[in-house]
Amino acid sequence: MPTPSANTQAVLLLTSPLLQEGGRAASKEPVLSAAEYAQLAAALQQEQCQPADLINGTRDTLLTTLSASFAVDRLNRLLSRGFQLSQAVEHWANRSISVIGRADPAYPRRFKQRLKRSAPPLLYVCGNLELLNAPDLAVVGSRSTPEALLRQAEGVGALAAAAGVVIASGAARGVDETAMVGSLAAGGCAIGVVADSLETMSARPIWRQALLDGRLLLLSSDAPSARFQVWRAMGRNKLIYALADAALVVSSAKGEGGTWAGATEQLQNLRFCPVHVLSDPRGGPGLAALADLGARPWPAPASAEALQALLRSTEQVPASAVIAPEQVQQRCLLEGVSPETAQASSEPSNARSNPLINEPVPGSPPKPAGEQQTQAPAAALAAFVDELVLGCLHEPLSIDALAELLDVSRTEVRRWCQRLVEQDRAHKLSKPVRYVRLQPPG
- Those residues with Cβ within 8 angstroms of residue 85's Cβ, 6 or more apart along the chain or in another chain: 9, 12, 13, 18
Question: Between 60 and 130, whose beta carbon lies closer to another protein?
Answer: 60
CB of 405 to another protein, least distance (A): 22
For residues 47 and 391, give the distance between their C-alpha atoms in angstroms, rounded to a whole number.
40
Least distance between another protein and beta carbon 99 (Å): 10
Which is closer to another protein, CB of 223 or CB of 390? Answer: 223
Which of residues 215 and 238 has its CB atom nearest to another protein in the complex?
215
**Sign of the C-alpha dihedral computed for residues 36, 41, 45 and 49 taken in this order:** positive
Q: How far is the CB of 230 from another protein (least distance, A)?
A: 24
C-alpha 18/C-alpha 223 separation (Å) is: 6
| Closer to another protein by Cβ: residue 203 or 401 | 203
CA-to-CA dists, residue 15 to 78, 112, 408, angstroms: 8, 18, 16
In the bound complex, what is the minimum distance in angstroms from residue 240's beta carbon to another protein? Answer: 21
- Listing DSSP states for 26-66 in one string gives HTTSPPPPHHHHHHHHHHHHHTT--GGGGGSTTHHHHHHHH
Q: Which is nearer to another protein, 58 or 398 (CB)?
A: 58
Chain residues binding another protein by CB under 8 A are 1, 3-4, 6, 9-10, 13, 19-21, 25, 28, 55-57, 59-61, 63-64, 67, 72-73, 76-77, 79-87, 89-91, 93-96, 126-127, 200, 202-205, 207-208, 211-212, 225
Q: Which is nearer to another protein, 65 or 229 (CB)?
A: 65
* Distances, alpha carbon 329 to alpha carbons 45, 122, 197, 323, 324, in Å: 16, 19, 33, 10, 9
**CA 138 – CA 289 distance, rounded (Å):** 19
Ramachandran region, residue 183 (left: φ > 0; alpha: ψ -120 to 50; beta: rest): alpha
